[in-house]
């Protein structure tokens, strides 16, 4: 029996001095600090904050098949160092892609015994796997992911509207969410064709090639299909603030639509990305300063439900750093180790609190991935997943703070607010002051696992 004590514990009711009483892997009760009965091993974190272990429902682990990009061991280490206790893996970058139950079993084999935090899988909806969708749901995926535009990776195909219409009745029957990369190829192809002679070492060229209209058209299509097929729609990595009014209206209409964005859209600005700085390439793209502020307003008025990393590493060579070519560089930003301080740096300046962060980065993603009966909150009955966060200290992002397979990042050299001191997974330390104690204890989240 353990008691985790701090002056600031982030519960769903607010921030207060508390002791979290833990028996085995679960929280028994949250009590005032002076009400710890005897028999508890006390961990007193003083002025540091205890937040619920973060849940990231948008991570590309690349395993099996592309573990040289980053596999389960390194991704879950980076997660533990960043305060995450649960990752949900995208079906895209692994080989085979997670679009059949056989591929899901291959992923389970790759993950077994190698994870420092808990994990679960999204299944893929690709051009020809409509008949696999319900079997994937029965086998334990938390929901589905599809691309409306070519993802640019071998092994995972996009879906057009016709293919989507074949898949959606199956998706709707599962009751699970469909996560959609919402950009349509038409506006991107037209914009790119007009840029043949442009300078692709400039970020503005890349931004021009992926206009807001590509996202807006895709979101309009998905909202119409949601109205028709009545499935749970989730828009991943919203980048354009211009879609917010329509998303707000769709929710007011009663459609089951949720929305996420990512730390890079909330922290980086197109105007400030230097020539050739391909570490900041992702899709949809990072847009203007003004757009960034609209996304923050979307979080403030709750049109955007959650914040996830879209952690998507690759070998440094694929970022084409020498050439600085935004056309050929791999799109993807790794941020598991620093997402919480990135978010706190920006959020605290805007008057948001650690309760907001816990909502966006723990409870929200837990709800999306259907593990919100055990993950994402500090409350009795929940798993004892915590991050101990020194919210007042600043640090400079250096390579030794990035626990990725490849320590590259657009954030190197930045001063950020908030230091992850320790992460606990089901009552056990998985990260403490730069170390990863013990053997990997993470396992796949299984809905049927009894309490």
Number of Cβ within a 10 Å radius of residue 2: 18
Structure tokens at 392: 């007042």
In three-state secondary structure terms, 107 is: helix
The minimum distance between CB 60 and Zn ion, in angstroms, equals: 6
Residues in the chain: 451
59 vs 388, beta carbon nearer Zn ion? 59
List the beta bridge partners of residue 206: none
Structure tokens at 98: 């997670």
310 vs 356, beta carbon nearer Zn ion? 310
232 vs 264, beta carbon nearer Zn ion? 264
Q: Identify which range of 188-196, 240-248, 310-318, 376-384 contacts Zn ion by CB under 5 A.
A: 310-318
Q: Identify which range of 135-143, 250-258, 304-312, 426-434 contacts Zn ion by CB under 5 A.
A: 304-312
* DSSP 8-state code for residue 362: I
Contacts of Zn ion in 197-236 (CB under 5 A): none
Residues 156 and 129: their CA atoms lie apart, in Å, by 11
The minimum distance between CB 376 and Zn ion, in angstroms, equals: 20
Work out whether 310 is an interface residue with Zn ion (CB under 5 A): yes
Residues 418 and 428: their CA atoms lie apart, in Å, by 22
70 vs 310, beta carbon nearer Zn ion? 310
Q: Identify which range of 98-106, 307-315, 369-377, 408-416 contacts Zn ion by CB under 5 A.
A: 307-315
Residue 308: asked if its preceding bond is cis (omega within 30°), the reply is: no
183 vs 310, beta carbon nearer Zn ion? 310
DSSP-H helix ranges across 334-432 = 339-349, 354-358, 364-368
Residue in this structure with the two tokens 């028996």, named with its chain if needed:
23
Q: Identify which range of 1-9, 287-295, 302-310, 375-383 contacts Zn ion by CB under 5 A.
A: 302-310
Work out whether 89 is an interface residue with Zn ion (CB under 5 A): no
Interface with Zn ion: number of residues (CB under 5 A): 1
305 vs 390, beta carbon nearer Zn ion? 305
Structure tokens at 215: 């996202």
The minimum distance between CB 90 and Zn ion, in angstroms, equals: 5
Residues 434 and 412: their CA atoms lie apart, in Å, by 17
The minimum distance between CB 92 and Zn ion, in angstroms, equals: 7
Residues 243 and 183: their CA atoms lie apart, in Å, by 12
The minimum distance between CB 25 and Zn ion, in angstroms, equals: 30
The minimum distance between CB 151 and Zn ion, in angstroms, equals: 9
* DSSP 8-state code for residue 438: S
CB contact at 8 A, 221 and 269? no
The minimum distance between CB 59 and Zn ion, in angstroms, equals: 8
The minimum distance between CB 291 and Zn ion, in angstroms, equals: 19
3 vs 236, beta carbon nearer Zn ion? 236
Q: Identify which range of 206-214, 292-300, 309-317, 378-386 contacts Zn ion by CB under 5 A.
A: 309-317
151 vs 440, beta carbon nearer Zn ion? 151
Q: Which residues contact 178 (CB under 8 A, 6 or more apart)?
A: 125, 143, 144, 145, 146, 168, 171, 231, 232, 233, 234
What residues line the site for Zn ion (CB under 5 A)?
310
């Amino acid at each position: 029996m353990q008691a985790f004590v701090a002056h600031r514990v982030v519960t769903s009711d607010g921030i207060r001095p508390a002791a979290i009483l833990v028996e085995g892997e679960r929280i028994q009760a949250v009590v005032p600090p002076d009400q710890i009965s005897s028999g508890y091993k006390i961990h007193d974190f003083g002025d540091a904050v205890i937040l619920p272990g973060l849940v990231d429902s948008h991570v590309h682990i690349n395993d099996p098949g592309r573990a040289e990009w980053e596999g389960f061991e390194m991704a879950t280490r980076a997660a533990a160092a960043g305060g995450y206790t649960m990752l949900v893996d995208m079906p895209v970058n692994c080989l085979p892609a997670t679009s059949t139950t056989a591929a899901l079993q291959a992923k389970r084999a790759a993950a077994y015994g190698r994870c420092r935090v808990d994990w679960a899988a999204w299944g893929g909806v690709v051009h020809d796997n409509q008949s696999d969708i319900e079997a994937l749901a029965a086998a334990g995926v938390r929901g589905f992911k599809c691309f409306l535009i070519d993802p640019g990776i071998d092994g995972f195909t996009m879906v057009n509207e016709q293919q989507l219409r074949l898949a959606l009745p199956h998706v709707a029957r599962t009751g699970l969410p469909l996560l959609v990369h919402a950009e349509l190829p038409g506006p991107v192809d037209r914009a790119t064709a007009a840029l043949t002679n442009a300078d692709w070492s400039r970020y503005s060229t890349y931004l021009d090639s992926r206009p807001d209209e590509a996202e807006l058209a895709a979101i309009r299509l998905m909202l119409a299909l949601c109205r028709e097929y009545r499935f749970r729609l989730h828009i991943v990595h919203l980048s354009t603030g211009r879609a917010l009014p329509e998303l707000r209206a769709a929710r007011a209409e009663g459609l089951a639509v949720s929305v996420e964005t990512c730390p890079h859209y909330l922290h980086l600005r197109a105007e400030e990305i230097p020539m050739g700085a391909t570490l900041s390439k992702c899709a949809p793209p990072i847009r203007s300063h003004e757009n960034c502020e609209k996304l923050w307003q979307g979080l403030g008025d709750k049109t955007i439900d959650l914040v996830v990393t879209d952690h998507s590493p690759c070998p440094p060579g694929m970022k084409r750093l020498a050439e600085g070519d935004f056309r050929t560089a791999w799109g993807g930003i790794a941020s598991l180790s620093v997402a919480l301080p990135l978010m706190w740096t920006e959020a605290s300046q805007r008057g948001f609190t650690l309760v907001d962060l816990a909502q966006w980065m723990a409870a929200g993603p837990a709800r999306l991935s259907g593990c919100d009966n055990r993950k994402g909150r500090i409350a009795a009955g929940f798993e004892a997943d915590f991050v101990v966060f020194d919210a007042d200290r600043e640090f400079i992002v250096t390579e030794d703070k990035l626990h990725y397979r490849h320590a590259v990042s657009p954030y190197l050299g930045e001063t950020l607010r908030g230091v992850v001191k320790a992460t606990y997974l089901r009552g056990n330390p998985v990260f403490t002051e730069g170390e990863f104690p013990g053997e990997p204890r993470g396992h796949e989240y299984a809905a049927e696992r009894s309490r």
